[in-house]
Structures are given as structure tokens and as C-alpha cells.
């Protein structure tokens, strides 16, 4: 019985570590951010396109050439810079250090 319990705990621990690795890969890499943007595009009305992604969601993020279009409107943003402190989430605080939007056209 003890061997069965050890295997269960080990399996749960490995699952948690694997999930943490996947989340880190998605949030901490440029390809991960691009994948999240593409996936999120399926769930919003209209079409969102981003020409270039620099950085990651775990630190400083810069998006260049954003275009959001619906049948009723079109928004173009040359650059969005987002800097925050993800570690603040552990204390229940969403701390944004900087959010800038440049070259907004609608």
C-alpha cells in the first residue's frame, strides 16, 4: 500500500512540474506569446494581427504592428510596451510598471 501511495504522490508531483514547465514556456518565450496571441484570436470577435513580438509575458513585452479589425471598426497600433512585475501576483497585486501605446489609429 505504501508503494502505491508513493507512486501516486510522485505522479502528481511530476504532473505539477510538467504543467509549470509548459506555463513557463508559454509565458516566458516569444514563440509562446505568439502562440497565445494566435489561440486567443479564436475567442475574440474580429481579427487580431501582430507583426512582431519582442520579449515575454514574464518580463518586458513589446508588440509591434498590431491591427484589430471587425466589420464595424479598425484599430491600428504601431507599438505597445508592457512592463510589469509578475512576482506581485503571489501577494495578490497586479503591478504594472509601464504601459505605453504608440501610433494609435482608429
36-53 average pLDDT score:
91
List % helix, strand, coil for the chain (3-state, nearest 5): 40, 40, 20
- What is the pLDDT, as a whole number, of residue 90? 87
- pTM for the model: 0.73
Can you list the alpha helix ranges (DSSP code H) found in the chain?
A: 2-27, 30-41
Virtual torsion, Cα 7, 8, 14, 17, nearest 10 deg: -150
- What is the pLDDT, as a whole number, of residue 16? 86
Q: Which residues of 88-100 are buried (b: 16+ CB within 10 A; e: fewer)?
A: eeeeeeeeeeeee
Sequence-distant (≥ 6) Cβ neighbours of residue 52 within 8 angstroms: 63, 64, 65
Amino acid at each position: 500500500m505504501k508503494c502505491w501511495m508513493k507512486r501516486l504522490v510522485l505522479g502528481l508531483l511530476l504532473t505539477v512540474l510538467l504543467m509549470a514547465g509548459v506555463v513557463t514556456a508559454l509565458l516566458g518565450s516569444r514563440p509562446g506569446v505568439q502562440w497565445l496571441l494566435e489561440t486567443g484570436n479564436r475567442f475574440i470577435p474580429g481579427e487580431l494581427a501582430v507583426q512582431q513580438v519582442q520579449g515575454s509575458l514574464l518580463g518586458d513585452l513589446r508588440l509591434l504592428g498590431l491591427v484589430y479589425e471587425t466589420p464595424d471598426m479598425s484599430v491600428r497600433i504601431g507599438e505597445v510596451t508592457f512592463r510589469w512585475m509578475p512576482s506581485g501576483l503571489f501577494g495578490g497585486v497586479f503591478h504594472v510598471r509601464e504601459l505605453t501605446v504608440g501610433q494609435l489609429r482608429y
